[in-house]
Amino acid sequence: MSKPDRSCVIRLAQAQAHIPGPAGEHSVSVLQRGTLDVKLSLPTPPNQQTPHAQDEVYVVIRGRGESGDLLFVAAGTEHRFEDFSEDLAVWVVFYGPRGGEVPT
């Protein structure tokens, strides 16, 4: 959706209007800059994911859990959402090099 040279605001409603995608995708990339890739995801059951090449952070927008919760998943880690509500919406932030950041 966006590759800004300057600061910007990503509106939930605008991002959500692009889901489902043309092939039925349940997520949409809303901001890309360098290694940063921010997506809006509306997971559906069964939630099957493959480990991702980059570290990622999820921020719960709504749904089961608590709005505002932040989850971190290290690159290469198997993960998925379980027992989630139909209204689950999360911002997904991928960042850093393939293989993940080096812990300090």
pLDDT per position in the chain (104 positions), as tens? 666 678 999 999 999 999 999 999 999 999 999 999 999 999 998 888 899 999 999 999 999 877 889 999 999 999 999 888 999 999 999 999 999 998 87
**CB–CB of 61/92 below 8 Å?**
no
Alpha-carbon distance of 50 to 79, in angstroms, equals 7
What residues contact 47, with CB distance under 8 A and at least 6 apart?
Answer: 80, 81, 82, 84
| CATH of region 12-95, choose from 2.60.120.10, 3.30.360.10, 3.40.50.300, 3.40.640.10 | 2.60.120.10
Q: What is the pTM of this model?
A: 0.88
